[in-house]
Chain A
């Protein structure tokens, strides 16, 4: 099959299945077919040649307004240039086929969207994808494309990876350029790949590395490919996060971690000190920075926001500076404590979410016999990790038949290679897998 035929088939499948799934908000049909033609003619080569991918609609896509899940942004002029990461993937031969649904302005853990409708979980269409990269999880989980891009400020790659049963990578803060994407919280925003295999997300991650002069927050790191060492042998020192990460979770979420731990030969537990305060700090900083970003829109067009986003942002606008400053100072302290753990271990395992995908519209959850509010607790285990920018490979695990769960494989800064290597071992052992949903 030629690349053009394959891309045409991909587009047809999306058109047939997506109306019931809600993953896509735009298709880039013409450019995708043109690009596929270039692959067929040998004008475009590379490790990802012909691989279709789609991006959360906060990425700039030339010719489309950058929605970021909002109604207000529909009035923006079309982007004149693709985001850096899209350019990198296409330089490696991948083919962009569309833009994906997301929670409004990325301030979301559910994948619900009042403007575009919810993205639906491909394994059970009545359930949430998780968010805010909900369309990215749905499109990959349904096998509409093998590779998607998402963003992760407090868990927005890792949560939908868990709920939709796909692999995800949240790289180290500052690793990948954020230029050409709509921001949320400058202190925590990350971008990364999601997909059906570890090799697939590793190849995409490798292709997206590289310095971008347009991103002033990007770290000055060399390109450090992960694919060549993905199947490397050798011991990995693995521990399970205890304490905070072993409480307030459904038994099956902890069972998923145990399965991964046994397969990786984990030797004990470590405690990330004051993880609850880390999450609280991330919560305060996110609300304040998000509110500052959107203040003008809140002043003039508040009624056009999703109410759930608007009410949190307006509350965030009223946060005293003192609270944010203390949270940022705590961040420094917490970072030093957690980095010290990596002197003894290479990787730390923790659940991605406390439970499986809830039903769409659900607002509370029973965990440990207690009813807890749903939205704020979905990110319970992801926020303390992105708070200090650690790289995480999120792997889908099913400890029993049913909807998937996720395990975070957390590494020291800049050691995405180790997190992906462990993810690959779990994939080879059959512990982690992303079977395409039957739709």
Chain B
């Protein structure tokens, strides 16, 4: 079915903080304490951009743009 046209709010800071805490070790990344705030800030900007994209209804026939030609 097509994506539903419902508003998608960007995740709040606590959710993003928890996401970062879980995902960083999964990726083998370690952030020094001084980096944590700017990384979170950047994640918030990305999440806000993603919310704008996720919020847009697209028919399921719309395929991703990249294309591989062997």
User: A-side interface residues toward B, CB under 8 Å?
Assistant: 187, 274, 276-277, 279-281, 283-284, 287, 295, 298-299, 302-303, 307, 310-312, 314-319, 322-323, 325-333, 335, 376, 388
A326-B54 CB under 8 A given contacts A318-B23, A318-B24: yes
**Contact B27–A318 (Cβ < 8 Å):** yes
**Contact A315–B53 (Cβ < 8 Å):** no
Closest Cβ neighbor of A299 among chain B residues: B28
Most buried by A among B23, B45, B63: B45
5 A-B pairs (CB sep. < 8 Å):
A277-B52, A283-B49, A302-B31, A318-B20, A318-B27
Interface of B is mostly: helix
- CB neighbours of A307 from chain B (8 A): 35, 38
Minimum Cβ distance to chain B for residue A75 (Å): 21
CA distance A333 to B56 in the complex (A): 11
**Contact A280–B27 (Cβ < 8 Å):** no
- CB neighbours of B52 from chain A (8 A): 276-277, 280
- CB neighbours of A317 from chain B (8 A): 23, 27, 29
CA distance A299 to B38 in the complex (A): 17
Closest Cβ neighbor of A303 among chain B residues: B32
Say if the beta carbon of B14 comes within 8 Å of chain A.
no
CA distance A316 to B43 in the complex (A): 7
**Contact A274–B56 (Cβ < 8 Å):** yes
- CB neighbours of A325 from chain B (8 A): 64
Minimum Cβ distance to chain B for residue A385 (Å): 15
**Contact B35–A187 (Cβ < 8 Å):** no
A287-B46 CB under 8 A given contacts A276-B52, A307-B38, A323-B54: yes
**Contact B65–A284 (Cβ < 8 Å):** no
- CB neighbours of B64 from chain A (8 A): 325, 328-329, 331-332
- CB neighbours of B54 from chain A (8 A): 322-323, 326
19 further A-B contacts with Cβ under 8 Å, apart from A327-B50, A376-B45, are A276-B52, A280-B48, A280-B50, A280-B53, A281-B53, A283-B49, A284-B53, A303-B32, A310-B35, A317-B23, A317-B29, A318-B23, A318-B24, A323-B46, A329-B62, A329-B63, A332-B62, A332-B64, A333-B58
Contact of B58 among A302, A312, A323, A329 (CB under 8 A): A329
For the complex of A and B, 6 pairs with smallest distance between CB atoms: A315-B42, A328-B64, A280-B49, A331-B65, A311-B38, A323-B50
Count contacts on B: residues with CB < 8 A to the other chain: 33
Contact of A330 among B27, B40, B53 (CB under 8 A): B53
- CB neighbours of B5 from chain A (8 A): none
Minimum Cβ distance to chain A for residue B48 (Å): 8
CA distance A298 to B38 in the complex (A): 15
- CB neighbours of B33 from chain A (8 A): none
Closest Cβ neighbor of B35 among chain A residues: A311
**Contact B62–A311 (Cβ < 8 Å):** no
Minimum Cβ distance to chain A for residue B31 (Å): 6
Per-residue 0/1 for B8-35: is the Cβ within 8 Å of any A Cβ (1 yes, 0 no)? 0000000000011001100111111001
**Contact A316–B46 (Cβ < 8 Å):** yes
A335-B49 CB under 8 A given contacts A311-B35, A312-B42: no
Minimum Cβ distance to chain A for residue B53 (Å): 5
**Contact B53–A326 (Cβ < 8 Å):** yes
A277-B42 CB under 8 A given contacts A187-B66, A332-B62: no
- CB neighbours of B29 from chain A (8 A): 295, 298-299, 302, 314, 317
CA distance A375 to B70 in the complex (A): 38
**Contact A329–B46 (Cβ < 8 Å):** no
**Contact B27–A319 (Cβ < 8 Å):** no
- CB neighbours of B4 from chain A (8 A): none
**Contact A318–B43 (Cβ < 8 Å):** yes
Most buried by B among A315, A316, A319, A376: A315
- CB neighbours of B28 from chain A (8 A): 299
- CB neighbours of B53 from chain A (8 A): 277, 280-281, 284, 323, 326-327, 330
Most buried by A among B3, B35, B49, B66: B49
Minimum Cβ distance to chain A for residue B37 (Å): 9
Most buried by B among A187, A287, A318: A318
